[in-house]
Structure 1
């Protein structure tokens, strides 16, 4: 029987009952670039840290366990992970991509991957039948769910069936949900992507990225590419992510609890035009989330009534930080139009629903009453000024 996810955040069964590393409970940081060999043709199992490092390897095994994959690869950032998996494709290949993606992914596809001969079709995978966009040279479907920042919920199992029927890879960016709440590989995906900087690390103190797969052919190719390109996560950063993962479950539960309370409060505020959160029963993706995930996460998108009010809120936050990231213990507020999606053409942003009145909240683990009190004070000030 598979152990519970909180246990797997802390323990690898293969390492239990052993007193290696001098019995260290916290896995050691192997801060070394290279490794001495006992003789010609002999190895300790490690040769050079670009290829592999014990600390990184331990982290990768933990992440693979959490996502239900046969292997995980740790990278220096989430974008480094996405950049490397694009090397699976050849010039002339075509990918179907969810239209409402993190702006950094869109920037990579449009300004680097296209230059390398890869073709993309951006599709609203919630509203459109992706089968209509499959070409003879289509090789993969790339999605996020919930999407960033409009929180559209896509049916992973449904898309996976379509992809498999056409022999396409399905890649799912699972950053918003983390493996604690959602496991796309178990729903039919071939590759899962994470920005480990976010919920896996959880403390806004390091960058990391992950690719997880349950296919041996993909694993072997990715391992060769990682060795060749050299974007593996450093030993110290690997240790920081290991430390963060230990509290993944309790952080996700607390931040989700806070999100639910804050969302209900936001719905009653006159300054808020719309609150988008899959945990709300009225969210169109609510039932799909209940089917494919174990929770709703703590990402919330709001539309403020005017651009002036949105900008004023950003200027007045204090405990809540106006910062471009998510998934940490601190609550952050982001302005997609000039931050996460600044490089996305305005007409594309508007078509996806991102306006100059859109704000994105990553709810942290503070006391929800304190977060609501700050927002209440800010909204009152904004109403007085305007």
Structure 2
């Protein structure tokens, strides 16, 4: 079996296109000629299928180790397609905290469809008692956004399946390079491909992957019926960008570890929060189910710090939402990525107003550390 980087680079065989081009072409056509003798050609109308998008989906399925992958216009498109499988009268268990867009879908959109969302503050405490006959899906992020809490995917998959429910894992932070939820029992993985898969801050995209033919058909319906599709140009760019995922992720993780070590030793930092830092149990789970900590973490400044002065002094880090790109970003989740949360839920699920989230890029790590050091001095 080929390694991850080899698979990512060679997922699409150049012999499959007319000129054996190393890079597949972009098919911009909205419609395709059909056989006059009846039936349909391989592609009919781009909402239902496009050659460029199909090549991307083939590539994404291979790096996921999945039978099927569906590409969407955004990461929320992928999450919406997965949660959209639920029917009126059914219940979703959503592990908290989650990205604000997933929270919105669970609190605003699903109720309109007659679906109930129940929040789970600590997935470690999830048990058979949390399931009744209406619970048909568990949706979780691990590590969580932005508190980096870790859930045991294999345990929760067994629990969900025992109670007749599906498990959907948002794997945006880890990517299939570092964590493979389908191999641990998840039914569907979703990712915002805008983040690490794209990696360059130049596109919006989402992907959902599964090994189930039945679930794959449901995910396809979200493309066909809802028009929830990725455009050929984005598919083309993502098809190229994902080839460097492994090498980018290696550098980003390497940088993140060094930046965290610097912050842990700085008097101006009260706490550094990362995957597995909550307790020994979560540390063991992260080590068992993932190949590293990823390149995203959160931290809190020491008491008395001027957060605005800290942010205003940054020059290499950009104060912005998103993550996973080659450039380093920093944000305040309580008012940005989790801005949709009620004040009550921000407190309940540990998204403190002074929590700072850091997404580390591939810059020279000495420059990242110097930038943070200067900003910390300004904060005090």
What TM-score does the superposition give when structure 1 sets the normalisation length?
0.95
2:102 maps to: 105
1:252-291 C-alpha deviation (Å, 9 max, x unpaired): 0000000000001000112211101127697652221111
Match of 2:234 among 233, 237, 243: 237
**Corresponding residue number in structure 1 for 2:154:** 157
Query: Displacement of 1:9 after TM fit?
Result: 0.9
Deviations 1:359-384 (A, max 9, x none): 0000000011100001111111222x
Mapped to 2, the partners of 1:207 and 1:137 lie a distance apart of 34
Separation in structure 2 between the aligned mates of residue 365 and residue 307 of structure 1, nearest angstrom: 31
Map of 2:47 onto structure 1: 50
**Alignment check: 8 A CA contact 1:307 1:357 kept:** no
Q: 1:85 aligns with which of 82, 85, 88?
A: 82
Between stretches 178-187 and 298-307, larger displacement belongs to 298-307
Partner of 1:119: 116
Distance 1:136 1:215 in 2: 22
Q: Which residue of 2 aligns with 1:258?
A: 255
Distance 1:270 1:282 in 2: 23
CA contact 1:140–1:170 (8 Å) conserved in 2 = yes
Matches within 5 A, 1:1-386: 2-12=1-11, 15-16=12-13, 18=15, 20-278=17-275, 285-306=282-303, 309-383=306-380
Give 1:115 shift.
2.0
CA–CA separation in structure 1 for the residues paired with 2:119 and 2:31: 43
Alpha-carbon shift at residue 126 of structure 1 (Å): 3.6
Tell me, what secondary structure is at the counterpart of 1:143? strand
Q: Displacement, 1:125? A: 3.3
| Structure 1: tracts of 5 or more residues without a match | none
Shift in CA distance, 130/313, structure 1 to aligned 2, threshold 3 Å: farther
Of 63-72 and 40-49, more deviation after overlay is shown by 40-49
3-state SS in 1 of match to 2:118: strand
Superposition deviation, residue 221 in structure 1: 2.2
Where 1:247 maps in the other structure, the secondary structure is: helix
Q: Distance in 2 between matches of 1:207 and 1:149?
A: 20
Count of residue correspondences = 380
Deviation at 1:129, TM superposition (A): 2.5
Tell me, what secondary structure is at the counterpart of 1:243? helix
Give the whole-Å Cα distance in 2 for the aligned partners of 1:120 and 1:294.
31
Q: Deviations over 1:328-381 (max 9, x none)?
A: 000000111110011101121122221121000000000111000011111112
Alpha-carbon contact 1:277-1:301 (below 8 Å) kept? yes
- Structure 2, unmatched stretches of 5+, are none
CA-based RMSD of the aligned residues comes to: 1.7
TM-score (norm 2): 0.96
- Measure the CA separation in 2 of the matches of 1:181 and 1:309: 36
Alpha-carbon distance in 2 for matches of 1:294, 1:61: 24
Kindly state the Cα deviation for residue 124 of structure 1 after the two structures are TM-superposed. 2.1
Structure 1 range deviating more: 292-301 or 257-266: 292-301
SS in 2 for 1:273: strand
User: 2:91, 2:162 → 1: CA distance?
Assistant: 17
